[in-house]
Structures are given as structure tokens and as C-alpha cells.
Structure 1
Amino acid sequence: MFDPPLLSLAKEIKQAIAREKEMPEGVSLPAKEQKIVEHIKEQTFLRNQDNVERTRAYVEYYQKHTEIHWALLAHLVSRNAGWSMTDLRGELLPKLLSPKEQNDYFLFLERGNWLIFQDAYPQLLLYEECVRQKTNLFHLLPHFHVSVFTQALWNQFWREGDRDLLAVGLIINEQQHLEEQVMKEESYQKTVLGTLPFAIQELLALNQILFPCAGDGQPLRLVGETVSHFASVTERISLGKRLYALLFRDDFLLQAVFGWARGQAHTGSRKDFWPHLFHDVKESVPGKPYQRRVGDCLLVPGAKRLYSPTLRQAWKQVKHEMPAEREWYRDRSVLSYLRIPKEKAPAPVNRGEAYCRTLEKIELAVLARGKIFGAKEP
């Protein structure tokens, strides 16, 4: 049995479906509303150029509208996507992945990052316009091909202001959108999701979502979660809810994470959070066999920092095709994902040590490959 807020949302979804069916084709919007739609589309296009710009757009939005919790979560997850993109051209992974595999993985990450922004940013801008005009304009959401689930979610938020419900609903929407537009695509099944390197990433827990917390001159503390079973939409939604609870159930942690994010521009380089281990300039000497560099979260004495380029050093901008219009909402069963645990979130675990162990595992894999194939520093 659903709680009253979820029953209310189910009713709102039913109404959104009815409105979409009744919407006449080819009828123009009033000039004022058409101008709003065109402006939002233009701004979305301008901010959806690459991971750096998207990530900046999210945090700038959250600074203006702190009631939209999802915007900060999206900013932090988008930072992590950028770090994963530059890892593919960094010190270690190019020694384990072919150039084609590096490019395939990048296009997979970039497409997902682009699609989520393309879907979510118009929603954020329309809410901003609602606040500015002090009126509900969410009847314009269908003009951005937003799911009926999300249309209902915003209408309910406008009436009742439930920040947690909105944030979790947006997590669900974006992961379902990703499922329809990326995870089910045959090309990504062949080039990424069904490949041995992807399985190795899962095995080594290379995919970690890290939230740096503002420190006192020491290496930043990292909190977050390890990503596992990324191909499962249920697992991705569960991960998003855990990250949300971690971030917004502890005000001290929230301010520490937001303080760092607000003060440190996103470049895509892991130097952004750990300059003692990473540098965006390649310091190693070309042609020498790779030597172990990391131990106990510190550089081995005499070792050079790991190369972690900025995103714009590593990759050129990608021109994306607009996605096919697909409605992911099927039935009320998805509402069960909206249940939010009421108990206090467990104390955050320092993920820095786990991330260091991951780096050490990758180094061991590089060294093993070097012994077999005689790999040298490029």
C-alpha cells in the first residue's frame, strides 16, 4: 500500500497522461510561453557542450535554488563522470585499454552525461521561471519531452514542497531515461557493457563515486560509494538514493562537500581533489618501464605524480544527435522506488583509503602487463 504522497503522485501521473493524450497537435503556444520554451532550449544547448560546462551549470543552479537538492547531487556525480573520462587518457588505464576501448568508454560516459543534462536542465530552468513569475508553468514540460512521471513530480512539488520526494523522483527519472536511451542500445552493449574491460572494472571496483569534503590544509577527506552492477537500473537507483541520503542527512557533511564544490572549479583532472598524487602535466620520463608510485595514499619516495589531464586536454567536444522520444513510465510499480528510509543515515566512511587500494590494484595490473608485454612509459 502506498503512502498518501505516493497515492497523490499516482493520481497526478494519471492526469499528466490524460493531458498528453488530449494535447492537440500543431497548435501554437501563446507568444509569451513560446518565448520561454525557446529560451530554455537555447540555454540548454549552450550549457550542454561538455562535461566541464554541464558540471558548472549544475552547481551554479544549486547556489541559486538550494531547495532543489538534486542539482547538487547531479553536480557531484557529474564531476565523477569527468574524472572517469580523463582516467581513460591518464597515467594508468591507457596501459590496460586499447585506444579503441578508451574511445568507446569515453563515448559511453559522455552520451549518458549529455542525455541526463538534456533531459534535466530544461526542468530546472522551467522551475526557475515558475519561481520568477510566481506561477505554475509545468504544463510546458511536454515541450521538452519530459516523462509524465516527472511532469507529475514537479506539479506535486510546486503544491507541497517535498524536497526529498522531488530529489528521489528525479534520481529515478534520470536512471530510467538512461536505461532507455543508453543501456538498451545495442551499440553500447557491444562496445562497453558486454566487454571484458567493463567486467574488470566491476571486479576491481574502479567505479567509485567520491565526494571531497573541505579540509584544513590536509589531503581532502573523501566520502561516497562504490558503484557495482552498473548495468542494473534498480542498482543505479539504489546507489543514487544512498548518495542522496549520505549528502542531505548530515548538515555538517553537506556544508563541507558544498564548500569544496563551490570553491574548486571542475576541470576533470583528479588534481582537483588530490594534487599530492595527481598532476595535469605528465611528469614521468618517456621510454622507461613503469615503476610503482602509490603506497598508503602517498607517493613512493622519489616517484612522480600520476598524470591526470583536464577534460579539455584529454577529449574533444562531441556533437550529439537528439535522442528518440521514448516514454519510460509504464505503470505504478515504479513508485515503490520512491520510498525514502526515515532512519538516520550511517556515519560516512572515508573512501580515500578504498580509492588508494583501487589505484594500487590498477598499478599491479599495469606492472603485470609490463612483465608480460614489456610495456614502457609512453
Structure 2
Amino acid sequence: MSGIKLARYIQELTGKLNKDNISRTNAYKKYFDRHPEIKWSLLASFVSRNAGWSMTDLKGRLFELGLSDVQQNWLFLTYERANWLIFSDAYPQLLLYEWSKELGQPLFHLLPALGVSSFMKAEWERFWRERDEKRLMYALIINEQNTIQTPIIQNPLFKKNVFHTIPFQVCEWFHFNTVIFPTVEGVFYGVSVKRFTSLHERIKLGKQLSRLLFRPELFPSFFHFTTCVPHTGSRFDMERWAGIRNRSSPFLRTCFPVIAHSLDGAKADWFHGENMEKLFQDEKLPEKIELTEWYFQKRRQLHAVFSLENWLTGRR
């Protein structure tokens, strides 16, 4: 197969798997099962699960009192667009590595044809030589957050309709922008991001989450959960293991349509030759990583705040 045909095939397959949050989550996990040395893929699957839960929260009991329909739609579009962009950039890289393994030779010279940054081309070539799994995972974290920085975080429409709105800021005040790694024992672990719009804070979060996910004493429980619990998008997927009997959010595919995205023109390379070595340094985990009680307390607080806001404004 020629390089042009392979690039086209990879783009077509990526498009099919980039249908919605559920298809992305499952694709990342299946890829990790095939290539466990690409640890970022499992991390991405867990973060994608969390994005799905955040999406269905918008239609569930937690936010139904505090968000207008317009606010719900903008928040959903933020999660969906960011995760679509990351998948459209990262999954072709994963598939090209898969083909490189199959053929026994690096094919990373095709990455520019797939719209991938020059930063990742150099990192994949380095990984092929050195097999530094952690460095590649960190490189993919750095890349994904830079990928969404301009089109999502700095986009004037998302700033106005999402990041500068009171509901989003309330979530930040309550430290509710948290990624949770659940277990079937009903114990939840996780890390919060303090300033979601900060590129460096999101990269820091990604590295902290990677350390938590692959912590030797915890990894088997996390892996068991993601292997045995199908992803529906509903937060009940995780909460039922902690004894919650009533579903607080619906299945994702029952409440949100499939969105037809486009790249809106040529994709620019975010990397301009800066020295990125500082970003490869490890990050310490917070002292408190077991968040089960904290998680339910924060959800009660958030529900109370939105209930009060609804009562004061008389929205519904």
C-alpha cells in the first residue's frame, strides 16, 4: 500500500471511530489492549469516559435546575468538540504506529500528511529508537492539550458561552472539574484541575492522572473496571458500584445527537520549535487521591447551589 493510500485509509478509519464519545472511548481501550506499551491510549479512554459522564450530567438531575437549554448545548459542544479534535489528531498517530509495528519499519514520515504536529513526529521517531513509554505518554498529553488550546480554549465563542459563564465558574470554584478513576469495589480515585483554561494546568493534570492510573497497587482495579463495565455515558456506570440505586443521568445516545464536525480549513501546526523539556518532568500527585466521600459531597453541594440559583431566578 502506498503512503498516500495508507494515509487515506487511516483517516477514513479514524472518522468512523470518531462518531461520538462512546465510539472514541471504546476505540482507545481496544487499542491499548492490542498495544499496551502505548499507555496514553488507556489514559485517553478513561478521560473520555469522564467526558461522557460530564455530557450526560447536563441532562441529568445535577444540572437540570441550573442550566438553560442554551447553556446545556454549549457545554455539550465544548466536551464533544474538544474530544473529537483530540481523537482526530491522536488516533491516526496510533494507527500509524500499529502499521509500523506490523511492517517492522517506522512510517512516521507520513505524520505530516495526517496533519500531525512536527513535535509528535520527532517524539514518535524517538520512541521507535528508545522505547521510552512514559516519555511518549507525556508527549501525547502535551500534544493533545496544545491541539485544543487555540480552537477550543481560546475560541471567542467558547469563551463567551462557556468559560466566562457562571455555571462553568461555579464548577471551578467547587473543584468539580475532576477526572475520576472508579473501581468495582465502589472506591473512587481522581485528580482535579484548578484552572481548566490554563494549558500548563491541563498538562499537569494529564501527567498526574497518568501516574495515578499506572500506580502498581491501583492499576489492576482500574483496568478491571474499564474492561468489565461497558461505557454507556451515564454516570450510573460508576455510581452503582458505590451503592447508588437511582440513575442520575441518562444514556448518552438517548439524549445527544451525533455531531457532524469539520476542521474548518487547514490545520495549523501548534509547535514552533520551542524547548519543551520542562514539560516532560514528573508531577507529584496530591496527598488525597481517594475521593469517594469527597465526590458525593461535592455533587450534593453543586446540586444545592444550582437549586438555589433556580429558586432565586424562578427559571423553572
Deviation at 1:251, TM superposition (A): 1.8
Asked if the contact 1:213/1:253 (under 8 Å) is kept, the reply is no
Contact 1:116 1:174 in 2 (8 A): yes
Q: CA deviation at 1:271?
A: 1.1
Once the two structures are TM-superposed, the CA of residue 354 in structure 1 deviates from its matched residue by 1.2
1:355 aligned onto 2:292: no
Partners in 1 of 2:306 and 2:247 — Cα distance?
Answer: 13
TM-score using structure 1 length: 0.79
TM-score by length of 2: 0.94
| Bigger Rg over Cα | 1
Q: For residue 4 of structure 2, what is the aligned residue in structure 1?
A: 34
Verify: 1:165 aligned to 2:105, yes or no: no
1:275 partner SS: helix
Alpha-carbon distance in 1 for matches of 2:302, 2:168: 14
Distance 1:44 1:229, change over 3 A: same
Shift of 1:246: 1.2
The structure 1 segments of at least 4 consecutive aligned residues displaced by more than 3 Å after TM superposition are: 345-348, 369-376
Aligned length: 315
Q: What's the CA shift string for 1:158-207, capped at 9, x where partnerless?
A: 01000010000100000011102211111111111121221111012222
Quick check: 2:32–2:39 contact (8 Å CA) kept in 1?
yes
Q: 3-state SS of the aligned residue for 1:333? A: coil
Q: Distance in 2 between matches of 1:369 and 1:173?
A: 38
CA shift, 1:36, in A, is 1.4
Q: Return the alpha-carbon distance in structure 1 between the equivalents of residues 313 and 210 of structure 2.
A: 44
The one of 230, 246, 255 aligned to 1:314: 255
Over 3 Å counting, the alpha-carbon distance change for 1:181 and 1:106 in structure 2 is: same
Deviation at 1:213, TM superposition (A): 2.2
Q: Distance in 1 between matches of 2:256 and 2:16?
A: 18
Given the alignment of the two structures, is residue 270 of structure 1 paired with residue 228 of structure 2, yes or no? no
Q: Distance in 1 between matches of 2:282 and 2:313?
A: 50
2:281 to 333, 339, 348: 339
- Which residue in the other structure is 2:267 paired with? 325
- Asked if the contact 1:44/1:122 (under 8 Å) is kept, the reply is yes
Mind listing any 5+ residue stretches in structure 1 that lack a counterpart? 1-30, 278-297
Please tell me whether residue 202 in structure 1 is matched to residue 143 in structure 2.
no
Alignment of 1:1-378 (within 5 A): 32-215=2-185, 220-248=186-214, 250-275=215-240, 305-323=246-264, 324-340=266-282, 349-369=289-309, 371-372=311-312
Q: CA RMSD in A?
A: 1.9
Give the secondary-structure state (helix, strand or coil) at the position aligned to 2:189: strand
CA 1:369 to 1:180, structure 2 compared with 1: closer, same or farther past 3 Å? closer
Q: Deviation of residue 367 (structure 1)?
A: 3.8
Structure 2 CA distance for partners of 1:194 and 1:369, relative to 1, 3 Å? closer
Percent of aligned pairs with the same residue?
38
